[in-house]
Amino acid sequence: MKFLAARRRSPIVASALLVGALVTVGGAYAALGAVEPAQAALAVGAETQVEKGQQLYLEGCSSCHGLKGEGTQTGPTLVGVGAAAVDFQVSTGRMPLAAPGAQAPAKTENPYSEEDIAAMAAFVAALGPGPAIPTAEQLDYASADEAYGGELFRINCAQCHQAAGQGGALTQGKYAPSLMGSSPKTITEAMLTGPQNMPVFSDAQLPVEDKQAITSYIVGLQEASSPGGLNLGRFGPVTEGVFLVTAIFAALIAAAVWIGIKSR
Amino acid sequence: MSDLTTPQGNPDGHGSAPAKLGYSPVADIPHKPRATDTDPKAARRAERQVASMFLLSMLFVVLFVVAYVAIDKTSVVYIPVMGEVGASNVALGFTMGMAILLIGTAAIQWAKKLMPDVEVVQQRHDMVSPKRATLEAEANYERGKEESGFVRFRLIRRTLIGAMVLFPIPLVVMLRDLWTPTEYTEGKSPADLLSTTLWTGGMRIVADGTYQGEHSETDSGGEITGEPVSPDDSLAHRPIRPEDLPVGGLIAAIPLDLPEVEHAEGNLNARGKAAIILVRMEPDEIRSQQGTGWDVEGILAYSKICTHVGCPIALYEQRTHHLLCPCHQSTFDLADSGNVVFGPAARRMPQLPIGVDEEGYLVALSDFEEPVGPSFWERG
């Protein structure tokens, strides 16, 4: 007893007791939870993926998002953002962030394989319920109404991403990116999860068919040619005006100078 | 400068004989003949240049007609710099543009190379009328005053002035017709209309643009045969439950009655005032709002119309809760009563008080308490 009494206040003992208590509670929970055999087998597979995801998360993400995804001063919480958010942010190269700043730009280089991303998505999905990665069926826009999608796009998306999906400026250095390189999957995931400052467009608000219609419209924009000629980036009156007062006015001034010069 | 006003034929030391009107040469400026003036070969060359430009112009007109007939309007070609463009548009534009450009260029070349380029002076009269004419005009005015008796007949003079003053009144009165009353605006003055919208207590909030894009009939092959379901069918617009809008979400919304009113009025006046956005944030993120309990579980409804000059705004940043107007960068903080944090807007964004009806859908509790949209006189 003297041995115990002497070491009772040691910090090691406190930690050991905590670990012991956690193991006991966790074990009891696992033992008491009636798990079906098939589900248990699935859970084991998922467990290893989640563990791998956790490992990758601790290495690549935890410095900003916290060891348990609780968020820190530099990064928001990931509890409840769902697998779709991870898939969107990491597969487009937005995360891990290259440098802190107003915008998290998409990058072409991505340090993670698809398997890695799936593992991290599984880990983050396990932190709390959130939107799942959309299925191929959800993404199939083949039978969607493109014109209706255009109307929804102009009401819900065009204010930031511009009517032709070219993107636009937000406040204080932030911007809404161009959608010209976005795949149906990233488009749908962005609507589901509201990355960075984009609002969330849930399935209750824009049901799957509406999202398919919007995707169909964006793909239509991506594939559209410019029947009218030089499209000047499809930015509308601003670039057209700049082109007018620079290139066209320069040509007119040159013509006026030629008319005015005395012939020799 | 005196050269321009001295009468024709005054030698003034120039020593030249009086020339035909409009042809008097300016003797002081040395004239340097052009190559086309001295070298007949150069003149021939210039003539050929001009003529070939006119010929080319004709050729482009022919090409235009050929392109119009031959090129399929839907065909697309790749042109460097321009990218994928409509073949027909580009061909028609290029040939017609070249045809007219060549006519212009040929005309200028003709004038520059072959028409005379001798400097000439055109003589002009003084701007002031001769003294005799001004005196006569003055006398005519005095005689008219005398003969009409404008001074003598006081009654006529005063009634005439009265009639002239009253005459513009019908024109002003007719301005009222700029506003056409409909059954929805009956009994409201134009001033009332500026400060009220379609929103009333209990009016359901529906998502904008969510009519079902379905067609009434399709044949066995899936081809559409029936009329599309009308976008004006207000029943097709989706009402919104609070749980439909996640935290960080945004819905562009309108009053349930709007499609019907819009259809009846045939214009967008009602929409221009009633359009709103719904945003949801965590209730503890709301620092202030324009009335107590105007939110539903963190869902706030704000006007979509900028208070600066009335652009529709929905650039909502869900993390900063800022609403940015793309026209002039006015920025409103929706977590703080919609106050202006940046830009030229002078007033905060009006908030619509909202609640939930017995079926669980979002409704307005009343109309806006402040007029929406850009400022007008009665509204500071």
- CATH numbers and ranges of domains, chain B: 2-121 (no CATH), 131-167 (no CATH), 195-364 (2.102.10.10)
**Least confident window among A119-123, B3-7, B49-53, B352-356:** B3-7
How far separated are the first and last CA of chain B, in Å rounded? 57
- pLDDT tens sequence across A188-244: 999 999 998 999 998 888 889 999 999 999 999 999 888 888 888 888 888 899 999
In which band, very low, low, confident or very high, does the pLDDT at A7 lie, cut at 50, 70 and 90? low
- CA-to-CA distance for B99 and B83, rounded, in angstroms? 24
Q: What gap in Å lies between CA B237 and CA B209, rounded to an integer?
A: 7
Minimal Cα distance from B209: which residue of A?
A: A152
Residue with tokens 């620092």: B287
Residue A8 lies in a domain: no
> Are residues A126 and A142 located together in one domain of the fold?
no
In this structure, the answer to whether residues A231 and A156 fall within a common structural domain is yes
Task: Check which CATH number belongs to the domain holding A92 and give it.
Answer: 1.10.760.10
Q: Tell me which residue in A152, A198, A259 faces B108 most closely, judged by beta carbons.
A: A259
- Bridge partners of B362, per DSSP, are B356
- Longest Cα separation, chain A: 118
What is the distance in angstroms between the Cα of B190 and the nearest Cα belonging to chain A? 29
Cis peptide before A96 (omega within 30 of 0): yes
Angle CA A21–A25–A27, to nearest 5: 115
Structure-token pair, residue A72: 């820190």
Per-residue pLDDT band for B18 (boundaries 50, 70, 90) equals low
Cβ of B247 under 8 Å from any chain A Cβ? yes
Which one of A8-12, A36-40, A202-206, B320-324 scores highest in mean pLDDT?
B320-324
- Identify the residue whose tokens are 């207590």: B201
B208 touches chain A (CB under 8 A): yes
B223 reaches A (C-beta below 8 A): no
The answer for residues whose C-beta is within 8 angstroms of residue A59's C-beta and 6 or more apart is none
Determine, for residues A262 and B313 on separate chains, whether the beta-carbon distance falls below 8 Å.
Answer: no
Whether residues A235 and A147 fall in one domain:
yes
Tell if the CB–CB gap between B318 and A259 is shorter than 8 Å.
no
Structure tokens at B247: 């935290």
A197 to B82: CB separation less than 8 angstroms, yes or no: no
Q: In this structure, are A94 and A152 located in the same domain?
A: no
Of A171, A202, A227, the CB nearest to B317: A171
Claim to verify: residue A185 and residue A125 sit in the same structural domain: no
Query: Do A124 and A140 lie in a common domain?
Result: no
Which residues in chain B have Cβ-Cβ distances shorter than 8 Å to A226?
82-86
Q: Are B358 and B347 in contact (CB under 8 A)?
A: no
Q: B324–A213: do the CB atoms touch at under 8 Å?
A: no
Under the phi-then-psi rule, with left for phi > 0, alpha for psi from -120 to 50, and beta for the rest, what region is B186?
beta
Partners of A152 in beta bridges: none
**Overall domain count for chain A:** 2
Q: Average the pLDDT over B129-136 and give the result.
A: 93
- Residue A28 counted as domain residue: no
Nearest CA in chain A to B342: A171
Instruction: Kindly state whether residue A206 falls inside one of the protein's structural domains.
Output: yes
Subunit contact B85:A228, Cβ cutoff 8 A: yes
Helical H segments across B1-130, by residue range: 2-5, 35-38, 40-70, 87-113
Strands B83-86, B322-324: pairing kind: unpaired
Percent of chain A clearing pLDDT 90 (strictly above): 34
Same domain for A164 and A239, yes or no, is yes
Domain that holds residue A60: 40-133
Three-state SS at B6? coil
Q: Does B209 touch chain A (CB under 8 A)?
A: yes
Q: What is the pLDDT of residues A27-65, one digit of tens each?
A: 666 555 544 444 444 455 666 888 898 989 988 888 889
**Do residues A104 and A46 both lie within one domain?**
yes
B113 has a chain A CB within 8 A of its CB: yes
State the CATH number of the domain containing residue A168: 1.10.760
Q: How many helices (H) and strands (E) does chain B have?
A: 10, 15
Report, as an integer, the average pLDDT of B253-265. 87
DSSP state of A247: I
Tokens of A223: 């594939």
Neighbours of B212 (CB within 10 A): 17
Q: Do A152 and B209 touch (CB under 8 A)?
A: yes
Spell out a b/e string for B147-168, using b for 16 or more CB atoms within 10 Å of the CB, else e: eeeeeeeeeeeeeeeeeeeeee
Query: Nearest by CB to B252, which of A155, A174, A229?
Result: A155
Phi (first) and psi of residue B21, to 5 degrees: -55, 130
**Closest C-alpha among A215, A166, A213, A164 to residue A186:** A215
In the listed set A95, A116, A133, which residue is the last one of a domain according to the structure?
A133
Same domain, A140 and A125: no
Mean pLDDT of chain A: 84
Tell me the pLDDT tens digit for each residue of B185-233.
Answer: 777 777 788 888 999 999 999 988 765 444 344 444 444 444 444 444 4
Nearest neighbour of B113 by CB, restricted to A151, A204, A263: A263
> CB distance B249–A200 less than 8 Å?
yes
Which of B85, B208, B317 lies closest to A155 in CB terms?
B208
Say if residues B31 and B119 touch (Cβ distance below 8 Å).
yes
Q: Is the dihedral of CA B5, B7, B9, B13 positive or negative?
A: negative
Give contacts of B321 with chain A, Cβ < 8 Å: none
Are residue A77 and residue A160 in the same domain, yes or no?
A: no
Q: Is residue A196 part of a domain?
A: yes
My answer on whether A148 and A95 are in the same domain is no
